Structure 1
Amino acid sequence: MEAAVAVATGWMAHSLALVAFGADSVIELIAGVVLLWRLYVEASGASDERVERAERGASWIVGIALLLLVIYIVVSAVYKLWTHQGAESNIIGVMVALVSGIVMPILSRAKIRIGEHIGSKALKADGLCSMVCAYMAWTVLGGVACTALFGWWWVDAVAALALVYFVVKEGWEAVQEARGVEDACHCGCHDEQRA
C-alpha cells in the first residue's frame, strides 16, 4: 500500500522525492518476498549451499534494482533543477510519509529482535532496511515542509538527491553481499551496531 500510494501521489504531485521513496518501498517489498522465500528454503531443510545461493540471488536483484533507482533519481533531479520544476502539495503523500516515519522504526526493532532470536542475519538486515525507509520518509517530509512553508521550488529535487545516499548505501551493500564479500550487511548495520 505504502509503495503504490507514494508512487501514485508522487507522480500526480510531480514530486521526485515521493516517487523515489515509493520506488524504494517497492524494492523493499521485493526484498521482503525474497527473504520469505529464502527463509522457507532454509526451514524446509535445504542444504547450506542452496540457502547461500538463494541469499546471493536475492542480494543481486535488490542491489541492481537500487542502483538503477539511483540513476533515475539523479537524472530526474538534475532535469527538474535545470527546468525549474517544483512539486505540488499532496496531503495523501504527506500522510504516507508521516505514517512510514512513525511505523518503520517500530517494525525495524521488531524484525531485528526476531532476527536475533532465530539467528537470522537476513531478517536483521531487513529490519535495518526498514529503519532506512524511516530516514527516507523523514527526508521527504522535510522537503515537503520547506516547499510548503517557504515556497522553495527546488527543495523536492534536492530532497530526492539526499535520498541517493541511503539508496546507494543499500544497493552497494547488497551487491557486495551478492559477491560474497565478508560482513557486507545491508543498510548500515555496522553503523547501527556501533550506536
Structure 2
Amino acid sequence: MVVTFRVLAAYVTFEGVRSLVGGEEPGTSVVALVLLAASIVVMPLLARAKRHVGERLRDPLILAHAAETRICVLLSISTLLGLGLYAVVGWPWLDPVSGFVIAAFSVHEGREAWEGELDEDDEEET
C-alpha cells in the first residue's frame, strides 16, 4: 500500500514537471469538471466509511485505503481550484504546482501508513 502513495507522488510530480517544461496549458471539459465536483462530494463520504471500517477491524490496509481516498479528494480539490484559477488569471503553472502539493501530501501519508504498519507489527510480536 505504501508503494502506491509513492507511485502517485512520482506520477503527479513527473506530469507537473512535464507540463511546466513543455509550457502546456491545462485542458478542461464540462464532463471533467462535473466528475471533479462529484468526487469532492462523494469521496469524503467513502474515505470516512473506509476509516470507520478500518478502525473497527483494526486493519491497517483499510486505513491506508482511507488515506488514499482522502488524497483523491485533495487531488480533485486542487485540480478544480487550479483549473478555476487558471480560468480567472490565465497562469498555466497553477495546475502543476497544485499537483506538487498533492505529491508532497502523498509522500507524507505514505510515511504515516508505513509507520502505522510497523507499529501494528510491533504490537503483534509482544
Q: Contact 1:73 / 1:160 at 8 angstroms: preserved in 2? A: yes
Aligned counterpart, 1:108: 47
C-alpha RMSD of matched pairs (Å): 2.6
Q: Contact 1:136 / 1:166 at 8 angstroms: preserved in 2? A: no
Quick one: distance in 2 between partners of 1:118 and 1:67?
25
Q: Does 1:122 align with 2:61?
A: yes
Aligned counterpart, 1:131: 70
Q: CA deviation at 1:146?
A: 0.6
Structure 2: gaps spanning 5 or more residues:
122-126
TM-score by length of 2: 0.75
TM-score by length of 1: 0.52
Quick one: distance in 2 between partners of 1:113 and 1:73?
28
Quick one: distance in 1 between partners of 2:55 and 2:44?
16
**Aligned-pair identity (%):** 25
Quick one: distance in 1 between partners of 2:6 and 2:111?
8
Aligned counterpart, 1:77: 16
Alignment CA distance shift 1:118-1:155 (3 Å): same
Q: Does 1:148 align with 2:87?
A: yes
Structure 1: gaps spanning 5 or more residues:
1-61, 185-195
Q: Does 1:63 align with 2:2?
A: yes
Count of matched residue pairs: 121
Quick one: distance in 1 between partners of 2:29 and 2:38?
15
Q: CA deviation at 1:95?
A: 1.5
Q: Contact 2:10 / 2:103 at 8 angstroms: preserved in 1? A: no
Quick one: distance in 1 between partners of 2:37 and 2:90?
20
* Runs of 4+ displaced beyond 6 Å: none
Quick one: distance in 2 between partners of 1:114 and 1:68?
25
Q: Contact 2:75 / 2:99 at 8 angstroms: preserved in 1? A: no
Which fold has the larger relative contact order, with Cα–Cα distance below 8 Å and residues 6 or more apart in sequence? Answer: 2
Aligned counterpart, 1:86: 25
